[in-house]
Amino acid sequence: MTGRILVVEDDLLNRLFYHDVLEQEGFDLRQVSDGALVLDEVALFKPDLITMDMQLPNISGLRLIRQLQKDKATCHIPILAITAFAGPQEEKRIRSAGACGYLAKPVTVKQLLEAVSACIEPDGGTED
């Protein structure tokens, strides 16, 4: 797969894990660990997808999803939410904010790749 993915995650080990898995798939990666830096990085990097940790320093992932969704320049970018606090309420909040997908930690390689591919190709093109 090709394209640019912005990995937003404050935990170093998780961040490196997502980065390595996605880079190996052929994506061009960039990482951000602080919620306050996300909007600037999105404007510069122009990602095709964002993986968004929900629990971040300074600005929460949920708030960032809402901000990205209401901006015409960024509302088309699919956002895959990743949270440590899984549950029906959390999932509902995240999906209604506009995330294309939702993963609960701990995330496996298979879950990550399937969710990324579903967000990038919502029609599931290659399945036959």
Q: Which is nearer to Mn ion, 83 or 117 (CB)?
A: 83
User: Smallest distance from the beta carbon of 31 to Mn ion, in angstroms?
Assistant: 13
User: Smallest distance from the beta carbon of 15 to Mn ion, in angstroms?
Assistant: 9
* Nearest CA-CA partner of 109 in 18, 10, 30: 18
Size of the site for Mn ion (CB under 5 A): 3
Dihedral sign of CA atoms 100, 125, 116, 85 in order: positive
For 43, counting Cβ atoms within 10 Å of its Cβ (0-12 exposed, 13-18 middle, 19+ buried), the class is: exposed
Q: Which is nearer to Mn ion, 81 or 120 (CB)?
A: 81
What string marks each residue from 40 to 79 as x (binds Mn ion by CB under 5 A) or -?
A: -------------x-x------------------------
* Nearest CA-CA partner of 49 in 127, 121, 124, 123: 121
Contacting positions for Mn ion (CB under 5 A): 10, 53, 55
